[in-house]
Structure 1
Amino acid sequence: MISSENTEVFTPKILQGNKDKHKNVYRFECPYAGQFRCSLTSLVFVMKGKGEVSYKTVSWDPRLLDGLGEMSPAGPLYDIDCFDGSISGLHLPHCEIFSEKDMDCLAVAHFTDGNVAIMNPLKVTKAHVMIDIKDLSIFGLIKRIIFPPSPVIAQVLVFQRPVTKRQKENVLDVHLLPSNVPLSEVKDQHVENIHIKTSSKCHLTPGTYYHLCCQPKKYRVQPETEVFEFNFGPNYHPTFEVFVNVRKQKVKLSLMDNTKGREVWPPRRILLTGQEVDRPAHRRLTESEFVDNNRHLLIQRVSSVMEIADGLRAKDMITHEMNSEVQAIEPHQKKMRLLFKALDSGGASVKVEFYRLLKKKEPKLVNDLISESSRPQ
């Protein structure tokens, strides 16, 4: 097992979930054996060879936590799948601050068929917990409950809500979260807001109260104080709200520890965008959402059905029998209806490949449908 630092970084494709259209599903097409780190989640996959990895966060089930004893969640819970079983190891990111002697407080919970097994790490580094894996399903980092709680590496995330033309105040949402919560997960729940990039790293202690300071002081912050808690989803609500005059172009924010009376996140200059909108911005459709939302029009207007079906068959995304059935039926509208059955059963990854082939074969149709969907209703 190599250290997590010796990895190749990749940015996954983000797909639409089959059951939850507003849930990120990450996909990584691994080209060869090695170690690969996701730039969005910091997960590291140890690969035996070429393969396609699909993963997403899921909610911690309180009923399953009962079987963990004196352990509590210490990171997001990931549902991981690999279509050809080429994953041999997994490195889960943690947010702990500890010495070598304290590293035995972390373990990994492996959930399968309603049961939970606790896996001891092969190694714990400053950033990751490493395990070997044979069976893929759901994995989550857990931590032995320690009293008093120790500080962890945390992040302060700042979002600006859309500003309407009648609005007199900018509203900033400030989130206090463990550092191993992916920013992409938080952004996906607040797609109408603008993420304001700033240095976010700090050290916070679970169970401790903090208050957010804003300069100039005349701008309002609510609540006055709030406790920092481990939050690994499914909901990421803002910890603080800041109300600033809409004409103001910048503010300074800092975070104070109520107990010790000191800054834990020194003042940061926050530049406000000043963007005006008449209504909340909408998230751009993913490739899979495009296919689902335009189902009726695609059935009527796609002419290159067999070329697309052949392309899907070449990648083993539809069966030989399905390809033959599509070829035998006429007209092309019936071909598309039949092909949609294979797309629905194949899930998001097959729909993404269908979209890619359609854009290659019929780019004008794709552009026309995108334009039509963006017009005001």
Structure 2
Amino acid sequence: MFHFTPELLTESGKTSYRFRCPGPGVFQCDLTGLVFVMTQVAELLYNTVQWDESLLQSAVCQLHLPHCETKDALIVDGLLSVVHITDDGMSILEPLKITDTHVVVKVPHLSAFGLIWDIVRRFQNKSRQIEAQVLLFLRPPDTGPRVLDVLLLPRNVLLDEVDDCVGSKHIRISSKCHLNIDQSYSVHCQPEGFIIQPEVNYGPNYHPTFEVFLETIPEKVTLMVQDRERTEVWRRNVSLKAEDSDPPEDRLLLVRRQFVQRVSDPVLNQLLDKLLERGVITDGEMQSVRTGRADKARDVMDTVRRKGSAASSVLISALCEVDPVLSRELRLI
């Protein structure tokens, strides 16, 4: 199996992925976990959506859909199927194979695909445990206390799809755990004394499940997720020491999506002029910038970020000078 990292495309707040397959074979996307079985050379353009139309090319003959079921749940025969939605209605596809991580189906023609559970067999498997993840996001400085968002999500939810935390700092930490659907959970923190809301919650969902209010930023906290019987399902030591001193290129990456969506074409032209004047970009790089506001914004952001901290600091300074309103909204000031 060949692993690939696709090109990211962002338009109107939606992320899609592009990859050109060099020929027949099995290809796995490192960002989404999707596996494509190809019969010929083709360009793939795809995204992950909730029952919206998927953009796939006709060379695809199989699709491997990531799931979040545990090994114990998969013992139940026929637990997972794939729903196939077209303009003519909905049909159920029986999987060719179910692995520990993916459900494999033959692709009849282009349309939307999604996983469904068999209700009867799901009822028989009363624990309803899934492979899950705990994601942490530290909100930017504001007029009030800092807030650490704790999200309980299925394993196959993509980090890029968690839109509610755009602008927050994703804290990288080992996140794997097992959660039960419809189970209530609580979050606990050491040292004690921080406000955590709500006291209990049901997961998983796409919104901040819990909020930990940090009156001060400690160097380290210990976070625990417990079920209703007070059994720990996840516990980690979380380092917060460096979260307020991110390198300039990381600050730009954090606001990349918002920058692409909101920066105007005149501002982009002024930024290019200033970057050229200050030696951050060359004449050739300026000439190679694509037309179209969104593509131009991506080229400016990515070209500068790849050059490191000094170049990224110049872009931040130039944006604050040219468009202070947008800079404040992106929390770059």
Aligned mate of 1:163, from 117, 141, 165: 141
- Superposed, 1:308-319 pairs within 5 Å as none
1:102-144, Cα deviation, whole Å (9 max, x unpaired): 1411011111116111111000011100011131121111112
Match of 1:193 in 2: 168
Change over 3 Å in CA distance of 1:273–1:204 after alignment to 2:
same
Q: Aligned pair in 2 of structure 1 residues 372, 267: CA closer, same or farther (>3 Å)?
A: closer
SS of structure 2 residue aligned to 1:184: helix
The amino acid that maps onto 1:14 is: L
Query: For the Cα contact (< 8 Å) 1:246–1:274, is it kept in 2?
Result: no
Question: What residue in structure 2 maps to residue 264 of structure 1?
Answer: 233
Whether 1:31 and 2:43 are equivalent positions in the alignment is no
Within the candidate set 3, 11, 36, 1:9 is matched to: 3
Tell me, yes or no, if structure 1 residue 112 matches structure 2 residue 86: yes
Displacement of 1:269 in angstroms is: 2.7
Distance in 2 of aligned mates of 1:270 and 1:78: 40
> Helix, strand or coil for the counterpart of 1:79?
coil
| Higher gyration radius (CA) | 1
What is residue 181 of structure 1 aligned with on the other side? 157
Say yes or no: does 1:81 pair with 2:52: no
Q: Which runs of 5+ in 2 are unaligned?
A: 273-287, 304-311, 325-333
Q: What is the match of residue 248 of structure 1?
A: 218
Q: Which residue of 1 aligns with 2:187?
A: 212
Q: Cα distance, 1:285 vs. partner?
A: 5.6
Partners of 1:97 and 1:151 lie apart in 2 by 7
Which whole-Å deviations, capped at 9, do the CAs of 1:75-99 have from their partners, x for residues lacking one? xx771321xx211111001111144
Asked if 1 retains the 8 angstrom alpha-carbon contact of 2:222 and 2:235, the reply is: no
Q: In structure 2, how many angstroms separate the alpha carbons of the residues matched to 1:276 and 1:287?
A: 20
Tell me the distance in 2 between the aligned counterparts of 1:159 and 1:222. Answer: 15
Aligned partner of residue 24 in structure 1, secondary structure:
strand
Change (3 A) 1:158 1:369: closer
Aligned to 2:327: none
Q: Deviations over 1:302-354 (max 9, x none)?
A: xxxxxxxxx9xxxxxxxxxxxxxxxxxxxxxxxx9xxx8xx89xxx9xx68x9
Which portions of structure 1, spanning 4 or more consecutive aligned residues, are displaced by more than 4 angstroms? 285-290, 295-298, 367-374
What's the TM-score, normalizing by structure 2? 0.73
Matches within 5 A, 1:93-132: 93-99=66-72, 101-113=75-87, 115-132=89-106
Contiguous gaps of at least 5 residues in structure 1: 1-6, 61-76, 302-310, 312-335, 360-366
Partner in structure 1 of residue 114 of structure 2: 140
Alpha-carbon distance in structure 2 between the residues aligned to 1:251 and 1:286: 30
The answer to whether the Cα contact below 8 Å between 1:37 and 1:44 also exists between their aligned partners in 2 is yes
Give 1:53 shift: 1.0
The CA distance in 1 between the partners of 2:198 and 2:92, in whole Å, is 38
**Alpha-carbon distance in structure 1 between the residues aligned to 2:156 and 2:136:** 16
8 Å CA contact 1:123–1:130 kept in 2: the answer is: yes
Report the 3-state secondary structure (helix = DSSP H, G, I; strand = E; otherwise coil) of the residue aligned with 1:40: coil
Following superposition, the deviation at residue 15 of structure 1 comes to: 0.8
Q: Map Cα deviations across residues 37-65 of structure 1 (whole Å, 9 max, x no partner).
A: 111111111111221111122234xxxxx
Check conservation: 1:157, 1:200, Cα contact below 8 A: yes
User: What amino acid does structure 1 have at the position aligned with 2:185?
Assistant: Y
- The alpha-carbon distance between structure 1 residues 34 and 373, as it changes in their structure 2 partners (threshold 3 A), is farther
Distance across 2 between alignment mates of 1:286 and 1:247:
26
TM superposition shift of 1:272: 4.6
Shift in Å, 1:189: 4.1
Aligned partners of 1:31 and 1:51 also within 8 Å: yes
Relative distance call for 1:88 and 1:275 in structure 2 (3 A) is same
- What RMSD, in angstroms, separates the aligned Cα atoms of the two structures? 3.6
Given that 1:161 and 1:172 are in contact with CA atoms closer than 8 Å, whether structure 2 keeps it comes out as yes
Contact kept in structure 1, 2:218 and 2:240, CA below 8 Å: no
- Give, in whole Å, the separation in 1 of the partners of 2:190 and 2:221: 6
User: TM-score normalised to the size of structure 1?
Assistant: 0.65
CA offset at residue 224 of structure 1? 0.6
Aligned to 1:70: none
Contact (CA 8 Å) 2:217, 2:240: kept in 1 or not? no
DSSP-derived class of the 1:135 partner = coil
Hey, what does 1:284 align to over in structure 2?
A: 256
